[in-house]
A and B are shown apart, each in its own frame.
Chain A
C-alpha cells in the first residue's frame, strides 16, 4: 500500500515537472489531440445525444406523474444536461476509448522494453509519453465537453419540439429561466479535469504493467475502472466546490 502511494506520488511529481518544463513536442500533441478529440467526437456525440433525449423524455414522464404538467421540463432538463449529464457521460466514454488505448499502448511498450530503450537513449519516457497525452486529453476533454453539451442541448430541443410539443422558442425561454452561462463554463472546467485524470491513470497502470498479454489486459482493465471511479468522485468534489459560486 505504502509502496503504491509512493509510486503514485513519484509518478505524479515527475509528470508535473515534465509538464511545466520545455521542450514540448507540438506535433505529438496534435497527433494525440486528433486521437482523443477528433476520433472520439462521433461516438461521444452519438451517445450523449441519446442520453439527452432519454433524459428529456423521462423528465417529462416523471413530471406528468408528479405534477400533471411538464411545462418546466425544457428548463430543468437543459440544466441537468448542461451541468452533469453531458460532461460526465462524455468523460466516461472518453475513458473507455482513450484510457484503455493509452494503458494498452504504454503497457505494451513497457513489456517489450521500449521504455527501457527510451531511457537508454536519454529520453525520459514520462516526458515522451505522458506529457503530450496529458495536454491532449485536457484540451480534448475541454473541447469535447463543450461540443457534446451544446449538441446535447440541440438534440433535447429537437426532441422537446417533436415529442413534447414545445417549440424551440419555448425551449430556449424555459432554458433561460434556469441555465446561466457559468453552467457551461463550469461544465467545461469539469471536462478538462476529467480529461486530466484519464492519461495520468492510464499511463501509471501502463508503466506498472506486468509481462505477458495478461498483464496488458489487467493494466487496461484497472486503468478504465480507476479512471471511471476517479471521474465520478472528482465530479462530486467539483460540483461541491462550484456550488459555492451560485
Chain B
C-alpha cells in the first residue's frame, strides 16, 4: 500500500471518529426531527446552551441558543423581556405542548444540572406553532428570596421590640385562656363520669330512639293515612264548641260528665 493511501485512511478514520463524537455530544444530529420554540425570560437561573428540555420529566430536546435581546417586547402583552432562549423539541412530544403549557427552569441530579421543564397543556387548547415566541416562567431567585426574608425578619424583630409590653400581655392573656379552657375540659370530663348524667344520657337516647321509631312509623303509607284522617277529624271538630258537643252527647244519649 502506498504511503498516501495509508495517510488518507488515517484522515478518513479521524473524520469519522470526530463525526461520531459530535453526534454523541449532540452537536450534530442528522436524524433529528425537531421543532423550535423561542422562550422569553428575564432571568434564566443558570441555564446553558445544551441543557436538556423535558416534558413531564422525559428528555425531548435541548437548549439551542441563548441570545440577549434588550429591545424585545412580547407581541401580545408588550412586556419587555430581555433574554431569548431557543429550544428544540422532538416531534413526538409536540402534541403535548399546547397554548397553556408552562415553561420552567428547574434543577435536577447530584450535580445540580439545570434543565427546562415544560408542563403539558390541556387538550382543548391549540397546539404551539414551530418557531413561536412564548413567555417562560422566570425561576425564583434564591438570593432575592434570602434578602427579602432578611428584611422580613428585621421587621418582625423591630415590631416585637416596639410593642414588647403588649406582646407580653397578649401572651399572658393567652396563657390564662388556655388554663381556663383546660379547667373547663376537666370539668366536662368529671361530669361525664357522673352516674346520674350517664343515666340521663341513656334515657335521652331511649327517648330519641322511640321518637325515631314513631316518626319512622308515621312515614309509612298507613301512618300518612292516619295522619290525614286525624287532620280531617280535627278540621271537622273545629267549629264544634263546648255546648254543641254537650248537645251532641245528649242527643246520642250518652251521659257523661265530660265538661
- Is B46 part of the contact surface with A, judged by Cβ < 8 Å? no
In the complex, which residue of chain A has the Cβ closest to the Cβ of B23? Answer: A172
> What A residues does B26 contact at CB under 8 A?
176
A181 interfacial contact with B, CB 8 Å: yes
**Inter-chain contacts of B235 with A (CB < 8 A):** none
A159 within 8 Å of B (CB atoms): no
Number of A-B contacts (CB under 8 A): 56
Interface centre among B7, B26, B111 (most CB of A within 10 A): B7
Interface pair A147/B14, CB less than 8 Å apart: yes
Number of residues from A at the complex interface, CB < 8 A: 24
Residue numbers in A under 8 Å from B6 (CB-CB): 34, 37-38
CB neighbors of A among B1-44 (8 A)? 3-4, 6-7, 9-11, 13-14, 17-18, 20-22, 24-27
Quick check: A146 and B25 within 8 Å, CB to CB? no
One of B10, B20, B110 near A143 (C-beta < 8 A): B10
Interface membership of B50, Cβ < 8 A: yes
Tell me whether A181 and B111 are in contact in the complex, defined as CB-CB below 8 angstroms, given that A33-B7, A147-B14, A176-B50 are known contacts. Answer: no
Are the C-beta atoms of A147 and B111 separated by less than 8 Å? no
Interface: A180 (CB within 8 A):
yes
Residues of B within 8 A of A175 (CB): 24-25
Q: Provided the pairs A31-B3, A71-B110 are in contact, do residues A147 and B17 lie with their beta carbons within 8 angstroms?
A: yes
CB of B225 within 8 A of chain A? no
B91 CB, nearest partner CB in chain A, Å: 21
Given the interface contacts A146-B17, A147-B14, does A181 sit within 8 Å of B27 by beta carbon? yes
How distant is A213 from chain B, measured CB to nearest CB, in Å? 30
> Is A179 at the interface (CB under 8 A from chain B)?
yes
Which positions 173-196 of chain A face chain B at CB distance < 8 Å? 175-177, 179-181, 184
Q: Given A176-B25, A176-B26, A33–B3 Cβ distance below 8 Å?
A: yes
Which residues of B sit under 8 angstroms from A184, Cβ to Cβ?
A: 18, 21
Interface residues on B, range: 20 to 34
Q: A35-71 CB contact bits vs B (8 Å, 1 = yes)?
A: 0011001000000000000000000000000000101
Task: Determine whether the beta carbon of B110 is less than 8 Å from that of A181.
Answer: no
Complex-state Cα separation, A60 to B9, whole angstroms: 36
A109-147 interface code vs B (CB 8 A; 1 in, 0 out): 000000000000000000000000000000000010011
B113 interfacial by beta-carbon distance below 8 Å? yes
Measured CB to CB, the closest approach of chain B to A44, in angstroms, equals 12
Give B177 Cβ to nearest chain A Cβ, in Å.
Answer: 53
* Complex Cα–Cα for A146 and B25 (A): 16
Which of B4, B24, B111 touches A30 (beta carbons < 8 Å)?
A: B4
Enumerate chain B residues within 8 angstroms of A69, measured Cβ to Cβ.
110
Please tell me if the beta carbons of B25 and A30 are within 8 angstroms of each other in the complex: no
A218 interfacial by beta-carbon distance below 8 Å: no
| Shortest beta-carbon distance from A164 to chain B in Å | 16
CA distance A146 to B12 in the complex (A): 12
State whether A146 and B113 are in contact (beta carbons under 8 Å apart), knowing that A176-B50, A181-B22, A184-B21 are contacts in the complex: no
A12 within 8 A of B: no
**7 smallest A-B Cβ distances: which pairs?**
A34-B3, A150-B17, A38-B6, A30-B3, A146-B14, A33-B7, A30-B4
| 20 new A-B contacts at CB < 8 Å, known A30-B3, A146-B18, A177-B113 | A31-B3, A34-B3, A34-B6, A38-B3, A38-B7, A38-B10, A72-B110, A143-B10, A143-B11, A146-B14, A147-B14, A147-B17, A150-B18, A150-B21, A175-B24, A175-B25, A176-B25, A176-B50, A177-B111, A179-B25
Query: Can you list 12 pairs linking A and B with CB atoms under 8 Å apart?
Result: A30-B4, A31-B3, A33-B7, A34-B6, A146-B14, A151-B17, A153-B21, A176-B25, A179-B25, A181-B21, A181-B27, A184-B18
